[in-house]
Amino acid sequence: MEEPKLIKVVGAAIIKDGKVLCAQRGAGKSLAGYWEFPGGKIEAGETPQQALQREIEEELLCEIDIDKKVCTSDYLYDFGNVQLTTFLCHLIEGMPRLTEHECIEWVEPSQMPRLRWAPVDHDAVTRISGMAF
């Protein structure tokens, strides 16, 4: 049996006014309806931070400052093994706008676990929900 495909992705826990930006995956995508941190795949030759900066500019049409890494977690889905590295980020320019997601919401960290998160995001959600910003 062959190894499942490794998919390296990055996620941004964008913080503003003490709340964290959470994004709901749109219909027609894998894991539609689940919540995630915005971000995406790391392309060849990119650092995780470069990938995150690019993805947020493309997906949310705003600019972020990448702060510290929260964690890296793996989850084996039927389409491959997703390795997610989540970073705390701060909004520096623009307001996030919907281009890919069903909806985005600013959520108090303690309220984050109430959302239905994609499995690979659980570790980061658990860690961030205990933080104060």
What does the pLDDT average to over 33-37?
97
What does the pLDDT average to over 4-19?
96
Give the number of other CB atoms < 10 A from CB of residue 61. Answer: 13
Give the number of other CB atoms < 10 A from CB of residue 123. Answer: 18
> Is it the case that residue 33 has pLDDT exceeding 90?
yes
Query: Coil, strand or helix: which one is 18?
Result: coil
pLDDT of residue 29: 84
pLDDT of residue 28: 87
What does the pLDDT average to over 106-133?
97
Q: Tell me the average pLDDT of the chain.
A: 95
> Is it the case that residue 17 has pLDDT exceeding 90?
yes
Structural domains in the chain, sorted by start: 6-129 (3.90.79.10)
pLDDT of residue 119: 97
CA–CA dist 84, 9 (Å, integer) = 5
For the entire predicted model, the pTM comes to: 0.94
